[in-house]
Chain A
C-alpha cells in the first residue's frame, strides 16, 4: 500500500465536484424527499421505522454510484494508456487493485455517512444492531458494483460509457425496490435484478425480510441474488480484461 499514490487518487476524486454531487449529495437529498418528509415515516417496520428503511435504500444507491464510477474510471484510465505508464513502474497489479478498492470503499462511505447522519437527525429509528449491520452491509455489498463499473469501462473504453453505467443504476434502483415500493408481477421480476438482492440484504437487519406489501423474502433470496450477480460481473470483467490484454 502506497500512501502518496492513494492520497493523490483521493484528491482527484474530490476535484470532481459533479461526481461528488451525484455520489454523496443526491442520495442524501432523495432521503430527505422520500424518507423524512412522508407522512408514514414514523410507521413501524421490523426493528425500526419507514424513515430508516428509506435511509438505508438511499445510502445503498449512493454507495453503488460511487463504486460503479470508480471501478469504471479505473478501467477506462487503464485502457487509455495509463496502464502502460504504470506498467513501466515497479507497481504490481495487485497493489494497484488494492489501492483502488480502498478508495472505492472510502468514497462509498461518504454517502452512507451523510445519509445515516441525516437519518439520525430526522427521525429514522431502529435497533442499534440494525444501524450497525445495515451500514456494514451497504458498504461491503457496494464492492460488487465496482466490478460492474470495471466491466462496462473495459468493454466500452470511454468515460461516457461509465457515466451511462452510473445512469443505469437509477433503473436498477427502481427495480431494486429502492425508490418506490413495488408489487405484483413487477416485484417478482425485480427480484432477479442486480440491485434488489443488495438492497434487500442491507435492509434485512431492519426488516427481517418483510416487504412494504406485507410479503416476506427468505434470507436465501437476497443472498443468492447478490452471489449470482457478483459471479456474473466478476466473470465478465475477468474475460474482458484478459481479452483487452491480448489485443495490446
Chain B
C-alpha cells in the first residue's frame, strides 16, 4: 500500500543553473578509474571502471545492471563528482559533475550508511536543505517521500526502508533534473522495496532523468526504459528493455556427451555460429544458442550426445551470458545477506 500523495509541481528555477540546454543528462567519454592496491599487498592495480562511453538523454530512465563489483558505484561516483576519474571525462548537462551538484542539477540516493543517527527525520532534511541556496520546502519533500508520519522520529529508530526514503527526500530537495540511485533497495525486504519503487513511480511523472544501479533484474525490467549492462568495469550491453529481453530469446540445450569426445565437442561447439555460451558440468554440456534446433541436431547426430534437454532461457540467463558471472544470480535473500549486515 502506497502512502504517498502524488508529487506536486514545484519550481524548477533551482535546477536550471548549470549546463547548456540540449546537453545530454550524462555524457561519459573513455571513463577509467583504477585503484592502487593496499600497501604491502601483492595485488596489481584494480581497474574498477575500464573505459566506459555512455550518453544518457534528458528524460530517460536508465538502469545500470550488473553483478557486485562490476563498477556501477564507482561510475556513478564519478557522475556525482565524489571521485575523480583516472582518465576520461564525465559531464552532467554539459557541466563538471561537482558544478552540477552545487547548482542542484543532480542529486542522488546512495547505498546504505551515511545518516546521522541522533537527528530526527525532519532535522536531517532541514540540515541538508540549509546547504542549498534554494530548495523545495522541507515539509513538501517529507510528504513526497511518505515520511510525514515519521518526521519526528530519530533516524536510529527508522527501519532500513524508512532511512532509504529519507535519503530519497534529501535527494528531492534541490528538485534535480537528474536523479541517481545507487542500489536504492539494497537490504530492504520485499514490501519495503515495493513501497520505495511506488514512491519513485509517483515521482517519475515529473519527467526527470533517472539513472539507477541495481542487481535485481526485475527492478531494471519494471522501472527502466533502457538497460545498461555492466560487467568487469565495461558496458557489455546497452539497449531498451525490449532489446535486452530479445537477447534472452535463445534457448539452452543440455546434453550428456561421451567422455572421450567431450573436449573436441566443446571446442567445436564454441566455434559454431549462433552459440553464445558453452558450459561444462561434469559429463553434461550446457549450450546457450539462438538456433537451438541446429545445436540439438549437431549434438545428437554428429557428437553422440544423449539425454538431451532444451529449456527456454530467461532474462537471467541472458544476464549471465552477457556478464559472465553466475555467482551473483543467487536468490535475492542470499544475495543481500551481505548488504543487510552493513545496514545495522
Interface positions of A (Cβ within 8 A of B): 2-5, 8, 11-12, 15-16, 77, 80-91, 246-248
For residue B6, CB closer than 8 A to chain A, the reply is: no
Contact among A5, A77, A80, A246 with B127 in the assembled complex (CB-CB below 8 Å): A5
**6 interchain residue pairs of minimum CB distance:** A81-B114, A81-B113, A4-B130, A89-B131, A91-B131, A90-B102
Sample of 16 further A-B pairs with CB below 8 A, known A12-B119, A87-B81, A248-B77? A3-B130, A4-B127, A8-B127, A12-B118, A80-B114, A84-B82, A84-B110, A84-B114, A85-B110, A88-B107, A89-B128, A90-B103, A90-B104, A90-B133, A246-B36, A247-B35
Please determine whether B118 and A81 come into contact, CB atoms closer than 8 angstroms.
no
Measured CA separation A89–B104 after assembly (Å):
8
Q: How far in angstroms is the closest Cβ of chain A from B49?
A: 14
Interface positions of B (Cβ within 8 A of A): 35-36, 77, 80-83, 101-104, 107-108, 110, 112-116, 118-119, 123, 126-133, 167, 170-171
Instruction: Name A12's closest neighbour in chain B (CB-CB).
Output: B118
Instruction: Give the secondary structure class of B's interface.
Output: loop
Which chain B residues border A80 with CB–CB below 8 Å? Answer: 113-114
Q: Which of B102, B116, B133, B171 is the most central at the interface, judged by chain A CB atoms within 10 Å of its CB?
A: B116
Q: How far in angstroms is the closest Cβ of chain B from A3?
A: 8
Please determine whether B131 and A8 come into contact, CB atoms closer than 8 angstroms.
no
Q: How far in angstroms is the closest Cβ of chain B from A80?
A: 6
Contact among B82, B115, B118, B127 with A87 in the assembled complex (CB-CB below 8 Å): B82
Which chain B residues border A247 with CB–CB below 8 Å? Answer: 35
Q: Which of A87, A89, A91 is the most central at the interface, judged by chain B CB atoms within 10 Å of its CB?
A: A89
Please determine whether B132 and A89 come into contact, CB atoms closer than 8 angstroms.
yes
Q: How far in angstroms is the closest Cβ of chain A from B93?
A: 16
Contact among A8, A77, A89, A248 with B126 in the assembled complex (CB-CB below 8 Å): A8
Instruction: Name B176's closest neighbour in chain A (CB-CB).
Output: A88
Which chain A residues border B116 with CB–CB below 8 Å? Answer: 12, 77, 82
Contact among A11, A89, A90, A248 with B83 in the assembled complex (CB-CB below 8 Å): A248
Q: How far in angstroms is the closest Cβ of chain B from A212?
A: 42
Measured CA separation A5–B128 after assembly (Å):
8
Instruction: Name B104's closest neighbour in chain A (CB-CB).
Output: A90
Contact among B82, B114, B123, B132 with A82 in the assembled complex (CB-CB below 8 Å): B114
Please determine whether B123 and A90 come into contact, CB atoms closer than 8 angstroms.
no
Which chain B residues border A246 with CB–CB below 8 Å? Answer: 36
Instruction: Name B39's closest neighbour in chain A (CB-CB).
Output: A243
Please determine whether A8 and B123 come into contact, CB atoms closer than 8 angstroms.
yes
Which chain B residues border A248 with CB–CB below 8 Å? Answer: 77, 82-83
Decide yes or no: A11 and B113 within 8 Å by CB, A2-B130, A5-B131, A90-B102 being known contacts: no
Which chain B residues border A4 with CB–CB below 8 Å? Answer: 126-127, 129-130
Please determine whether A87 and B131 come into contact, CB atoms closer than 8 angstroms.
no
Please determine whether B110 and A81 come into contact, CB atoms closer than 8 angstroms.
yes
